A = this chain, B = another copy of it.
Amino acid sequence: MAIPRAAKTLRRTRIQEEKEEQILEAALDVFSARGFRGSTIDQIAEVAGMSKPNLLYYFRTKEAMHRALIDRVLYTWLEPLRAFDAEGNPEEEIRSYIRRKLEMARDFPRESRLFANEVLQGAPHIEDELKGPLKQLVDEKAEVIRAWAKSGKIVECDPYHLIFSIWSTTQHYADFDVQVRAVLGQEHSGEGRFEDAARFLEQLFIGGLRPELG
């Protein structure tokens, strides 16, 4: 008698890896565009090019699909913040953090929207990750920033809200892409908007907006 669910087997076959990959790729497409509740298994199945029961052979439920996707993407998503280096030059660290986050908004907008959808709707599936690993990581990096300020390397400021502001400004270009493009108009909606954004954000976070005194 066959073991009913592939997920329960210990060894993963080549087919399992390929199909699960295929499914998660499709799930990212759908979940990021419509949110968890707004997505249907049929839609994911269609994008993945497989039948619905076939999806459910690899992931027992819609929730399991979503969870596997979140788990897979979360680690990568936090990579830029993890790379934030206490030993580095503060200005350069902040600059490159912004640059990397903006690159991710440009190159991985679906991942950004996946989390945005989830958090926006109360984070029912990732509350633990937010309060646990995420908070720990941010606490750690906030302490780094605070130390920089203490030693006068950067100006004194609230490190948590600094991080929030970098998150929000950069991810805005992924999460609110349609709005950004609508406002910029067709002529400025090429990929050049990311370079403009990078220039502006560097000016904002590094250079400051106040006009230099005479």
Contacts and interface: CB of A to CB of B under 8 A. Distances in A.
A34 B34 CA distance: 10
Contacts of A169: 164-165, 168-169
Contact of A116 (B120, B122, B203): B120
A207 interface: yes
Given A167-B172, A205-B209, A119 B179 contact: yes
A161 B206 contact: no
| Chain A, interface residues (CB within 8 Å), range | 35 or more
A195 to B, nearest CB: 11
A162 interface: yes
Contacts of A120: 35, 113, 116-117, 120, 175-176
A179 B130 contact: yes
A179 B134 CA distance: 9
A161 B71 CA distance: 32
Contacts of A187: none
A9 B160 CA distance: 53
